[in-house]
Amino acid sequence: MSEQTLSSEEGSSTQADATRQKRKKLLSLVAILFIIGVVVYVIWHVFFSQSEDTDNAYVGANTAQVNSVISGQVQQVLVDDTQYVHAGDVVIKLDDRDAKIAVAQAEADLLKVKRQYGQTEANSDSLTSQIRATDSAIQSQQAQVNKAQSDLIRAQKDLERRTALNASGAISKEEYTTAQNALNTAQANLALNKAGLAQAISNQKVAESNLKANEALIKGTTSNTTPDVLAAQAKLDQANLNLTRTVIKAPIDGIITNRNVQVGQTISSGSALMLIVPIHALYVDANFKENQLAHVKPGQVVKLTSDLYGDDVVFHGTVVGLSGGTGAAFALIPAQNATGNWIKVVQRLPVRIHLQPEELKKHPLRVGLSMTATVDLKSD
């Protein structure tokens, strides 16, 4: 019985040793294959790889912000978040009553200055007639001066004769006094008529000066081109423009998002009311490691997949360009690498990739979705 037991134990030990030897050989083979695979992958990746890929990529878009250029109260909001709109669609209406009043006031001001221009033209005609009238008055007054001078000469001669007769007693003192009074009257009449002539000349100069000033206001202009009319017309144009701005329209095609305006709200000029995302003009910012970018160039073909659709849907894009700096360089609080405990961190640089609009129409994406991008380095 003991011999049989010993034989059985020896057989079991031999079988166990054989099993262990097989396991060691199998594990060694697996380890060798793993090492060979790693070496082949490294050699291929370093020397033969023709692409670079990253899963740190996200969908972006040049969104359009809808603002109000004027202040006013919101009368209607015609869209809501997630709604698709076309460029030119009305999205918001403001209360336009104040704007209409401003237009009416501007129209009245324009009519007023045009009427003033017409009055200025009429004043020119009136002043021209006035100058012609002063010509006649000057001529008439000059004739009066000439007559007064003749009367004065005649009175002087008459007084001289009577002075000689008075010395001989041939005339009475009363007659001599009358001659002296006549001379005084003639002198006074001449002075009076000269003053009248000077006044007529002065009136003509004033009329001529007024005419020149009036002509300066309208010279080279018409009722539509005078500065006052142009200024009033500009105010009317601005009032009409503000009236049109009470109707706010979508600037581009896209989906409404971030709507933050309500009916009845009073908004100020420049207020951000909502965003429009152009889902047919999206791009991808792929953040590649700095050691992946040596051969990445604009124009290279990119294949992309999204977490939304999985690997079954492949998007095709083109490298547009590389960012001017890493994300860390433009962070709100940049890293302070000058400290004593600095640790090197591999940086990533955003690469802008343009997506094909036709593919986006078939499989729409949204801003912020994750993507996996593979750049074909041979495609340049």
Dump pLDDT digits (tens) for 72-115: 999 999 999 999 999 999 999 999 999 999 999 999 999 998 88
Please report where in the chains the tokens 């004027």 appear, as a residue.
Answer: 70
HSE value, Cβ hemisphere, 13 Å, CA-based, for 175:
13
Query: pTM for the whole thing?
Result: 0.64
Q: Are 99 and 239 in contact (CB under 8 A)?
A: yes
Average pLDDT for residues 253-262, to the nearest whole number?
94
Give me the chain's average pLDDT, please. 84
What confidence tier does 337 reach under pLDDT thresholds 50, 70, 90?
Answer: low
Phi then psi for residue 318, to 5 deg, are -135, 140
pLDDT of residue 339: 64
Please report where in the chains the tokens 């790693």 appear, as a residue.
Answer: 38
pLDDT of residue 6: 47
pLDDT at 18 over 60: yes
What confidence tier does 140 reach under pLDDT thresholds 50, 70, 90?
Answer: confident
pLDDT of residue 32: 86
pLDDT of residue 253: 95
What confidence tier does 327 reach under pLDDT thresholds 50, 70, 90?
Answer: confident
- Per DSSP bridges, beta strands 370-376 and 51-61 are antiparallel
Show the domains of the chain with their CATH numbers.
Answer: 48-62+278-379 (2.40.30.170), 64-95+246-276 (2.40.50.100), 99-240 (1.10.287.620)
Query: What is the residue-wise DSSP string for 105-170?
Result: HHHHHHHHHHHHHHHHHHHHHHHHHHHHHHHHHHHHHHHHHHHHHHHHHHHHHHHHHHHHHHHHT-
Q: Which residue has the higher pLDDT, 288 or 34?
A: 288
pLDDT of residue 325: 86
Average pLDDT for residues 208-227, to the nearest whole number?
70
- Grouping H, G, I as helix, E, B as strand and the rest as coil, residue 338 is coil
pLDDT of residue 54: 93
User: How far does Cα 78 stand from its chain's mean position?
Assistant: 25
Distance CA 304, CA 308 (A): 12
Give 147-189 pLDDT, tens digit per residue.
888 888 887 887 777 777 777 667 777 777 887 888 888 888 8
Distances (CA, A) of 177 to 44, 162, 163: 145, 9, 10
User: How far does Cα 157 stand from its chain's mean position?
Assistant: 90
Percentage of the chain lying above the pLDDT 90 cut: 45
pLDDT at 41 over 80: no
User: Residue 281: what residue type?
Assistant: A
pLDDT at 48 over 60: no
Q: How far apart are the first and last CA of the chain?
A: 84
Give 219-241 pLDDT, tens digit per residue.
766 667 778 888 999 999 999 99
Phi then psi for residue 281, to 5 deg, are -135, 50
pLDDT at 275 over 90: yes
pLDDT of residue 79: 96
Provide the token pair at 280: 């047919």
pLDDT of residue 11: 58
Secondary element (H or E) of residue 227:
helix 227-244
- Taking phi over 0 as left and psi of -120 to 50 as alpha, with beta for the rest, 340 belongs to alpha
pLDDT at 302 over 50: yes
pLDDT of residue 369: 95
pLDDT of residue 133: 72
